[in-house]
Chain A
Amino acid sequence: MADPPTRPQIGADEWVARSAERSAAGRARTWAEQTPAPIRYGALAVVVTLIALVPVMTSDEYILRVGVVSLIYALLALGLNVSVGLAGLLDLGYVAFYGFGAYGYALLSSSKFGVHWSLWETLPLVLGTSILVGFLLALPSRRLVGDYLAIVTLFFGQIFYTIAVQGYRVPLITFHGTHDITGGPNGIADVDDFRVFGHHLTTNRAYFWFSLIAVVVVFTAIHFLNESRTGRAWRAHRDDPLATELMGMPINWLKLLAIAVGASVGALAGTINAASLHGAFPDDYSTPVLITIYAMVILGGAGSLLGVVLGALTVNILLEVLRTPDHARWILYIAIVVALLAKVRPWRKLAAVLAGTLAFGIAVHAIVAAAWPRGVHGLVSISGTDFSNGGWFGWALRHWLVLPAHTYEEGQYTWFNVALVALIGLVLVLTMVRGWVRWALLVPTLWLAALVWETRLVEEGTGPTRFLLLGAILVVLMAARPQGFLGTHRVEIV
């Protein structure tokens, strides 16, 4: 399939020319849509059951905690998907609803004001108030469109964060000094567990199941909403707001509804977060979290309910796995091999590239070993303070790459910074050339990538590397597959 034209072509109807691409792009989606409903729902039910069995199969608190956080993000992704994916409204203040739910629950069920309501009392109140706040946010949307609405919602999110942080000295409530409402930057601590039917949810396992049930319920509700008239109206608004308005649909009401639904789901996620964390802290509801949720929604495919849930689970689990340098190391090599497998055809070329990379590395290693012996006597980095021989895999790495002794352990990063910049340059050049030059350049690029990874990035693994990789993945994925995993390819009328 030819690459889509990057410049408008005179004489060619672009819409028609891109029809083939449109139908192919949604292949994952059309495949899903073509299987009969009972099989689809059955498959979903099986998957949900499997996930529900995870707390039974393991008692590892870490896995359960990661599961709880992932499910909370799945809820958030579902809620954001309603505004962005289904209705086409760019809501950049979504994290404020998340925080509102958390703080609302925290104020009503903690030792802060001595109020300890059960879940059945707080949840409706918090959800109701967040819907009202959503209406407030949606009011500007009556007059603003697109990017203008985006900026207003963005600031709305900033405002929530400022109020949360400064809320330890709120004046004017009574005319007598200031009052501590939100606890300021330290937040509200000692928030109660959920009290449902007399049970206290105290363990990660309990919150896991609660979140899973919440995800399933919200998923089903939004699915039915999406299949209804409202959903069709939203999709019409997303695809062409002007036409929708001219058709006589109540645009303002639709926007209000979309934002309100998103707000209530976000608030629900917030209450679960506050309860499982036993506290509400402002930094959990700041702009970086918003960006993470957006990344999940886009990668999963805005507009597809299953897609955003998958996106949320994948991104969060990926970030967690990348936390440990050991695991991160495997991820990189597996990703490279998989990418090569997918992109390099026929198999002869693939074998040539892999063999070439190995040979290149061994050759460079031999040359450096002869000229500067210390240059290859280094060890493999396991963590910031641990360097070891690394078993058989470490042996392979040490003989394939150039790991200098002590240099990188002692923080002399200059050469490796140069290598990092050179690697970025090489990758960019790779995207520009074609033909045999590309394959030839791929070999040193792969080797350099492994070298930079082992000497510089693994060490920084838990911090800068994670977000470096996330950024790179976002760029590459958008270039390769802009609609995300299961998203619909949006039709833009010129």
Chain B
Amino acid sequence: MGGIHVLAGFDAFTLTWHYFFSQLVAGLTLGSLYALLALGYSMVYGILKLLNFAHGEVFMIGSYIGYFVLTALGGATSPNVSIPILLLLMFGAAMVGSGLLGVAIERFAYRPLRHASRIAPLISALGVSFFLQQLATLLFGSVPKQYNTFSLHNGSLFNRITIGAFEIQYMQLFVIVAAVVLMLALTQLVARTKVGRAMRATSFDLEAASMMGIDIDRVIVFTFFVGSALAGAGGVMNGLIFQNVNPYIGFNAGLKAFTAAVIGGIGSIKGAMWGGLTIGVAQAFATGYLSSAYQDVIVFAVLVVVMLVRPTGLFGTPALQKV
């Protein structure tokens, strides 16, 4: 049946556990990336009620920083230092660099608009996004840069661990674990430290928090730094596992991450994590079981279903509206 075959390739091979796990792992890897980005969106929104559309570009710049560090240390085929040190340096540089960029964007593009209408910072964010995309094109060129991680250690980083029907590549495992570690660290930061308490208070009620003596500006700067640092880490992971960096990857990643944040309940850290994983897994399953051509449509269907069942997202708190 030619018609149905296009949409649903339900052949025998798709109905195995092995296939299921392979798609699940692919989805979790992708979802971890989205989750890291979504965290930045959620945190900023929680405090400022602002959708930071320039967040995707911070991710892109983080990816470029990782690339330049990699090249400076000899490139993937013959790195000058051992792999753990290489990864540490790439992540460190990208996180710091992206964090600083995020802070700069907040200082110059959003702070003047803190009391303007809701749409003004949105447009400002779009302006920053355009600006950074074209700046990257001018400075780095439009030809994609390749991390060549498959050459690292002769490709052994992509060997698979097999446990029965379950298979996962080392690199995929690394990405998932690293993302989980970062997210756990963030949760602990928000729950246990003084700064974290300040962040929570500010996101609950900005005015009351300032009245309690919390320096709002410092908290906001810190939030942007942490969120952007996570995006930078995501950028390096993107390079490690998906190789290619060009000035336009930020836009699409940002879009998906924004969706993830909303599905999970924007403003909620737990929600951002689960939202990201949901989107990643949905996308992988859509491609693997249904159709790669309509993967976006299917993810959208999932999104709509979630939103209609829980209008404020999976873990979002119903917005209390003050009269």
A binding-site residues for B, Cβ under 8 Å:
4-8, 10, 18, 84, 90, 140, 143-145, 147-148, 150-152, 154-156, 158-159, 162-163, 166, 169, 171-178, 242-243, 246, 291, 294-295, 298, 302, 417, 420-421, 424, 428, 431, 456, 460, 464-465, 467-468, 470-475, 478-479, 482-483, 489-490, 492, 494
Q: Which residues on the B side are within 8 Å of A475 (C-beta)? A: 108-109, 124, 127-128, 131
Partner of A147, one of B2, B51, B116, B308: B51
B282 to chain A, nearest CB (A): 12
B95 to chain A, nearest CB (A): 21
Q: Is there contact, CB below 8 Å, between A162 and B297? A: yes
B88 within 8 A of A: no
Complex CA–CA separation, A246 to B322 (angstroms): 13
Beyond A6-B114, A7-B216, A472-B127, is A144–B134 a contact (Cβ under 8 Å)?
no
Q: Is there contact, CB below 8 Å, between B114 and A428? A: no
Q: What are 21 A-B interface contacts by the 8 Å CB criterion? A: A10-B210, A90-B119, A143-B311, A151-B259, A151-B303, A152-B304, A154-B259, A155-B299, A171-B2, A243-B323, A246-B323, A295-B123, A420-B139, A464-B137, A475-B127, A475-B131, A478-B124, A482-B113, A483-B116, A483-B117, A492-B118
Which B-chain residue is minimally distant from A474 (CB atoms)? B127
Q: Which residues on the A side are within 8 Å of B185 (C-beta)? A: none
Partner of A478, one of B51, B123, B300, B307: B123
Q: Is there contact, CB below 8 Å, between B311 and A144? A: yes
A186 to chain B, nearest CB (A): 16
- Known pairs A152-B304, A175-B3. 13 more at Cβ < 8 A? A7-B210, A7-B216, A8-B206, A8-B216, A18-B115, A148-B262, A169-B6, A171-B7, A172-B4, A294-B126, A295-B123, A471-B128, A475-B109
Q: Which residues on the B side are within 8 Å of A490 (C-beta)? A: 117-118
A474 to chain B, nearest CB (A): 3
Q: Is there contact, CB below 8 Å, between A474 and B124? A: yes
Q: Which residues on the A side are within 8 Å of B243 (C-beta)? A: none
Q: Is there contact, CB below 8 Å, between B313 and A492? A: no
B43 to chain A, nearest CB (A): 15
B189 within 8 A of A: no
Which A-chain residue is minimally distant from B115 (CB atoms)? A4
Complex CA–CA separation, A152 to B126 (angstroms): 19
Q: Is there contact, CB below 8 Å, between B108 and A431? A: yes
Q: Which residues on the B side are within 8 Å of A148 (C-beta)? A: 262, 266, 307, 311-313
Which B-chain residue is minimally distant from A303 (CB atoms)? B117
Q: Is there contact, CB below 8 Å, between B296 and A7? A: no
Beyond A143-B311, A166-B293, A482-B117, is A464–B138 a contact (Cβ under 8 Å)?
yes
B129 within 8 A of A: yes
Q: Which residues on the A side are within 8 Å of B223 (C-beta)? A: none
Complex CA–CA separation, A420 to B135 (angstroms): 9
Q: Is there contact, CB below 8 Å, between B211 and A10? A: yes
Which A-chain residue is minimally distant from B259 (CB atoms)? A151
Q: List CB contacts (< 8 Å) of B231-261 with chain A.
A: 255, 258-259
Q: Is there contact, CB below 8 Å, between B131 and A479? A: no
Which A-chain residue is minimally distant from B116 (CB atoms)? A482
Beyond A158-B296, A169-B6, A464-B137, is A295–B126 a contact (Cβ under 8 Å)?
yes
Complex CA–CA separation, A456 to B323 (angstroms): 54
A7 to chain B, nearest CB (A): 6
Of B2, B112, B121, most A-chain CB atoms within 10 Å = B112
Q: Is there contact, CB below 8 Å, between A291 and B126? A: yes
Complex CA–CA separation, A328 to B113 (angstroms): 29
Q: Which residues on the A side are within 8 Å of B307 (C-beta)? A: 140, 143-144, 148, 151-152
Q: What is the interface of chain B mostly: helix, strand, loop, or mixed?
A: helix
Complex CA–CA separation, A174 to B4 (angstroms): 11
Complex CA–CA separation, A200 to B94 (angstroms): 59
Q: Is there contact, CB below 8 Å, between A155 and B259? A: yes
Which B-chain residue is minimally distant from A14 (CB atoms)? B115
B161 within 8 A of A: no
Partner of B133, one of A143, A169, A467: A467
Complex CA–CA separation, A420 to B119 (angstroms): 29
Q: Which residues on the A side are within 8 Å of B217 (C-beta)? A: 6-7
Q: Which residues on the A side are within 8 Å of B165 (C-beta)? A: none
Q: Which residues on the A side are within 8 Å of B319 (C-beta)? A: 145
Q: Which residues on the B side are within 8 Å of A162 (C-beta)? A: 293-294, 296-297
Which A-chain residue is minimally distant from B123 (CB atoms)? A298
List the 8 closest A-B pairs by CB distance, nearest first: A474-B127, A471-B130, A471-B131, A171-B3, A482-B120, A482-B116, A475-B127, A468-B134
Complex CA–CA separation, A433 to B21 (angstroms): 57
Q: Is there contact, CB below 8 Å, between A478 and B111? A: no
B321 within 8 A of A: yes
Q: Is there contact, CB below 8 Å, between A470 and B130? A: yes
Of A291, A456, A471, most B-chain CB atoms within 10 Å = A471
Complex CA–CA separation, A84 to B118 (angstroms): 11
Which A-chain residue is minimally distant from B129 (CB atoms)? A471
Q: Is there contact, CB below 8 Å, between A171 and B116? A: no
Complex CA–CA separation, A389 to B6 (angstroms): 61
Partner of B4, one of A144, A171, A468, A474: A171
Which B-chain residue is minimally distant from A172 (CB atoms)? B3
Which A-chain residue is minimally distant from B207 (CB atoms)? A8
B24 to chain A, nearest CB (A): 23
B299 to chain A, nearest CB (A): 8
Of A140, A158, A294, A475, most B-chain CB atoms within 10 Å = A475
Complex CA–CA separation, A298 to B134 (angstroms): 22
B1 within 8 A of A: yes
B104 within 8 A of A: yes
Complex CA–CA separation, A224 to B119 (angstroms): 25
Q: Is there contact, CB below 8 Å, between B104 and A471? A: no
Beyond A162-B297, A475-B109, A475-B127, is A176–B2 a contact (Cβ under 8 Å)?
yes
Complex CA–CA separation, A471 to B137 (angstroms): 14
Partner of B120, one of A154, A291, A298: A298
Q: Which residues on the B side are within 8 Å of A143 (C-beta)? A: 307-308, 311
A472 to chain B, nearest CB (A): 6
Q: Is there contact, CB below 8 Å, between A478 and B120? A: yes
Q: Is there contact, CB below 8 Å, between A242 and B210? A: no
Complex CA–CA separation, A470 to B129 (angstroms): 11
Partner of A6, one of B4, B111, B296: B111
Q: Is there contact, CB below 8 Å, between A151 and B129? A: no
Q: Is there contact, CB below 8 Å, between A176 and B262? A: no
Complex CA–CA separation, A144 to B305 (angstroms): 12
Complex CA–CA separation, A166 to B298 (angstroms): 14
